[in-house]
Structure 1
Amino acid sequence: MSVLVASDLDRTLIYSAAALGLDMPDAEAPRLLCVEVYQGRPLSYLTETAAGLLAELVRTSVFVPTTTRTVEQYRRIRLPGPASRFAICANGGQLLVDGEPDPGWHARVRATLADACAPLEEVRAHLRATADPAWLLKERSAEELFAYLVVRRELLPESYVKELSQWAEPRGWTVSLQGRKIYAVPEPLTKSAAVAEVKSRTGVDEVLAAGDSLLDADLLLAADRAWRPGHGELAAAGWTAPHLTVVEEKGVAAGEIIVRALGERSSVSWARARSQAIRALSRGRG
């Protein structure tokens, strides 16, 4: 049995310094590996143990990093192990094959969005009109597919995200708050659709998935087995599903547990497939 592992990155596998959640004594903190540098400064980490487990996971599965990051932002990350043949960026809007965007997939996504939801510029105009300079740091679009705000989280009114969601929903958009970013994303722009495309191209038998935010919910629902950490939007909402494993730990410790669980499941499936192939070969020789 071949396995596809589609995992969110930020706050699922990799963590900024602010998101590490190292609440133990300093002398007991895990050793960390930096996997992203931005403007000459270290930005994202995982534990060294998780790094070793991830390198093995890449060997025993079709590992597909699956992120809301733009292609440019994703390319800053240097994960352990061999480079993945496939990666999903822009919440499913970009499918990378051997490191390069697939233009055919991107064109299909844009055609779908054009028929299904309000245009990006309408949403950006609303964001600019409603965001308060007292807490707004940046307003940006990503790959000309969706928009996001970078905010001062401590000053953000509790009602803003709810009111934005109520405005966006009838226009075919969804809203997600992740750390300091508020995302406005077209509802048809999903990670699960891009994963289904990779599954079709690779012919895998099983899909495993992991994620922490509302933008990961469709990905987790579409998988055969899924994991989420004890932090993030899904944890705050108490989100669950029959095939979902909830990891109680938070921060980078949760990331290590998730990659271990993904690796154990993938290794079992890989070993089973190898054994079946050997038995089939033996029968053929007999």
Structure 2
Amino acid sequence: MNTQIAVDLDRTMIYSEGALGVSLDETFECVEMYEGKPLSYMSARSVSLLRELTETAAVVPTTTRTIEQFQRISLPGAPWRYAITSNGGNILVDGIPDTRWRNGFDVDLAGVGAELRSRISEEWVLKYREADGLFCYLVVNTAAVPKNFVTEWSQWCAAHGWNVSQQGRKIYTMPNAVCKSAAVAEVRARLIQDGTLDTEAHLLAAGDGALDAEMLIAADAAIRPRHGELELIRFARPWLTVTDTSGVRAGEEILEWLRNRTAVRRV
């Protein structure tokens, strides 16, 4: 194969009902159930495009979700030889976490978590969660978050080798060492080594959040939707395409763009 594709999931390929941007109807396929209820969807067009992509390119789902959260998604195109979860902190090989890769991270989650909890209040934080022993995040009432919280917490984290990203109701606190781009590069090296990828294979990437930025920068060509955290900061690069649409229609655009780029590489 001459193309590797690293693609984010939430609000890039899959969407909650509230994030679709259109009315939910029978043309959408539920790809995730949680506590017995449908949670995430893809359009029929996106399902078809993703399946098509897996036949011609090395597609690597690349998500900030934990292993458990990723495994509850029924993503078209499975099973996956490689998938990246936990924002790059875990690489799944045929669905099994690679312990050698995971054990390469030594993060002070206990210390950072304690500092974070000392700064928050139940008045605006709905949940505090730690993810796969690698990072933590808050689920918040966005209207009630103190005005300077993200800025001040970001400053503390920057001084201690961590970073902060807000995506909707979630505020992530992530060690700088844990990033999607490093995991994507590792998977690429393995795919080249085992002969799946050509040595000169192109890397295409797609994502909507700040935690995707390094991955988009590292790609030969990349695309992001016209929504999300990167849209808010007007993130741009010469090799980065921005969709014309937002919501689930942007997801279709992204997959069509990836399909067309892969088709060009095959010629």
Structure 2 residue runs of 5 or longer lacking an equivalent are none
**Could you tell me which residue of structure 1 aligns to residue 102 of structure 2?**
106
What are the within-5 Å matches in structure 2 for residues 119-138 of structure 1? 119-138=108-127
The answer to whether residue 133 in structure 2 is matched with residue 157 in structure 1 is: no
The answer to whether residue 6 in structure 2 is matched with residue 6 in structure 1 is: yes
**Could you tell me which residue of structure 1 aligns to residue 36 of structure 2?**
40
Separation (CA, whole Å) in 1 of partners of 2:28 and 2:150: 33
Structure with bigger helix share is 1
Q: In structure 2, give the amino acid aligned to 1:214.
A: A
Cα displacement string for residues 233-257 of structure 1 (whole angstroms, at most 9, x for unaligned residues): 1110011111100113111111110
Structure 1 residue runs of 5 or longer lacking an equivalent are 273-286
Separation (CA, whole Å) in 1 of partners of 2:88 and 2:36: 28
The answer to whether residue 177 in structure 2 is matched with residue 181 in structure 1 is: no
**Could you tell me which residue of structure 2 aligns to residue 171 of structure 1?**
160
**Could you tell me which residue of structure 1 aligns to residue 257 of structure 2?**
261
Percent of aligned positions that are identical: 49
Q: Which runs of 4+ in 1 moved over 4 A?
A: none
Q: CA deviation at 1:154?
A: 2.4
Q: In structure 2, give the amino acid aligned to 1:128.
A: R
Q: CA deviation at 1:159?
A: 2.1
What are the within-5 Å matches in structure 2 for residues 21-36 of structure 1? 21-22=21-22, 31-36=27-32
What are the within-5 Å matches in structure 2 for residues 71-82 of structure 1? 71-82=67-78
Separation (CA, whole Å) in 1 of partners of 2:251 and 2:189: 28
2:138 match: secondary structure? strand
User: Would the aligned equivalents of 1:30 and 1:47 in 2 still touch at CA under 8 Å?
Assistant: no
Separation (CA, whole Å) in 2 of partners of 1:82 and 1:168: 37
**Could you tell me which residue of structure 2 aligns to residue 96 of structure 1?**
92
Separation (CA, whole Å) in 1 of partners of 2:161 and 2:174: 9
More moved, 58-67 vs 149-158: 149-158
User: Would the aligned equivalents of 1:5 and 1:208 in 2 still touch at CA under 8 Å?
Assistant: yes
Structure whose CA Rg is larger: 1
Separation (CA, whole Å) in 2 of partners of 1:169 and 1:248: 34
Q: Normalization by structure 1: what TM-score?
A: 0.88
Two-structure CA RMSD over aligned residues (Å): 1.5
Separation (CA, whole Å) in 2 of partners of 1:43 and 1:170: 37
